[in-house]
Amino acid sequence: MNQVPLADGAEHAGSAASLDGLSPSAALDLTDLFRQHHAALVRLAALLVHDMPTAEDVIQDVFAAIQSRPAGTRLQPGGELTYLRVCVINGCRSVHRRRAVVRRVAGGRNLTALDTLQASAEDEAIRAEERQQVLSALADLPARRREVLVLRYYLGMSEAQIAATLGISPGTVKSTAARAIAALAKKLGEDA
């Protein structure tokens, strides 16, 4: 609790060292990471939760959580983006958990909006019926399958990278992806 007024100049260079427990250099790293990856992470989250505002919330929460970690903790050099993606995926899982609770109580389909994402996108292409079909079918897949497909076909990650990100074996990635594509094809009335 502050015992002195929190000056507008509390943002002076000298006070930056207290950035929520991270060491100054770590804080700089985090700020840079935020700038570099914010938009890409929002896109990733949006594809997983199908709702732009929620996706942005997820990213905010991820950075807030990282920033509030105990003093001295640092991101592992070179693994920052992987770590952030894992956090984003976990955050998206939380969103789906909450939605699941709502569904349990309220019944019906997912209340949050794939429609939101689609409606908010200006690109004509995303409004095309075909893409809507694909995205809707993707949204209906179980979370793990959806995550694997997004990481594979949106981020272009290898099976090993997906395995490392999701904490599963490459074999599981492979089988999950195959099953997910098969399920997607079935929903779309195609041969996988």
Partner 1 sequence: MTRTEKRLTDALRAAGDAIKDRDLRPLPENGARTGQRRPGRQRWLAPAAAAAAVVGIATFALVAVQHNGPGPASGASKPQVVGVGEFPTGIAVDTATSTAYVAAGEANALSMINTSKCSAASSDCRTAASVPTGGTDPIGVAVDSQTHTVYVVNAGSNTVAVINAAACNATSMSGCAAHPPLVRLGDRAGAEFLAVDVSTDTVYVADTNAGTVSVINGGTCNASDTTGCGQAPATIRIGATPFPIAVDQATNTVYVGFSAGVAMIDGTPCVGVSTAACAKLAGTVPDANLPAGIAVDDAAHTVYVSGESGTVALLNSRACGVKIGEILPPNFPQCRVVATVNVGQQPRGDAFDPANSTLYVANAVSNDVSVLSATTCNATDTAGCRVTPRTFPVGASPRRVAIDDANNSAYVVNAAASTVSVIDSSSCNAATTAGCPSEPPAGTMQTESSCSPAMTEQSSGASAAEFTSKDTEVATGSVAGRGWSLWAEKGVPEPLALESGGLVLGGRWYGMCAGFPNLLETEFIDAGSHGIAYGYLAMPGKLKLAMTPAALQSPDIVTLRGGVSFFIATLAKSACAYPSVVLHAATASGSAMHSLQFGGCEAGHDVVISGSSGEWGPGQAAFSAPGPRAVRVGTQRVIGTSLANTLDRCSPEATSAYSGTPAAPRTAAETEVASGTAGGSRWSLWADPKVSGVRRIENGGLVLNGRWYGLCPGFPNPAEFDLVDTAGAGIAYGYVGNPGDYKITLTGDGALPSPATYRVDGGTFFIGVLPRSACTYKAMQLTAATSSVTDLHHLQFGSCQPGRLVAITESNGSW
- Cβ at position 57, least distance to partner 1 in Å: 6
Cβ distance to partner 1 smaller for residue 61 or 140: 61
Does 121 bind partner 1 (CB under 8 A)? Our answer is: yes
In the window 50-79, what residues touch partner 1 (CB under 8 A)? 52, 56-58, 60-61, 63-65, 67-68, 73, 76
Cβ distance to partner 1 smaller for residue 140 or 153: 153
Does 113 bind partner 1 (CB under 8 A)? Our answer is: no
In the window 149-178, what residues touch partner 1 (CB under 8 A)? 149-150, 153-154, 163-172
Q: Which of 37, 110, 120, 140 binds partner 1 (CB under 8 A)?
A: 120
Token pair for 153: 């076909």
Size of the site for partner 1 (CB under 8 A): 95
CA angle 150, 142, 187 (to 5 degrees): 85
Does 90 bind partner 1 (CB under 8 A)? Our answer is: yes
Does 25 bind partner 1 (CB under 8 A)? Our answer is: no
Q: Which of 16, 71, 109, 142 binds partner 1 (CB under 8 A)?
A: 16
Alpha carbon dihedral 121, 125, 130, 131, in 10-degree steps, equals: -50
Does 100 bind partner 1 (CB under 8 A)? Our answer is: yes
Does 130 bind partner 1 (CB under 8 A)? Our answer is: yes
Q: Which of 23, 81, 83, 110 binds partner 1 (CB under 8 A)?
A: 83
Does 110 bind partner 1 (CB under 8 A)? Our answer is: no
Three-state SS across the chain? CCCCCCCHHHHCHHHHHHCCCCCHHHHHHHHHHHHHHHHHHHHHHHHHHCCHHHHHHHHHHHHHHHHCCCCCCCCCCCCHHHHHHHHHHHHHHHHHHHHHHHHHHHCCCCCCCHHHHHHHCCCHHHHCHHHHHHHHHHHCCCHHHHHHHHHHHCCCCCHHHHHHHHCCCHHHHHHHHHHHHHHHHHHHCCCC
Q: Which of 97, 109, 142, 158 binds partner 1 (CB under 8 A)?
A: 97
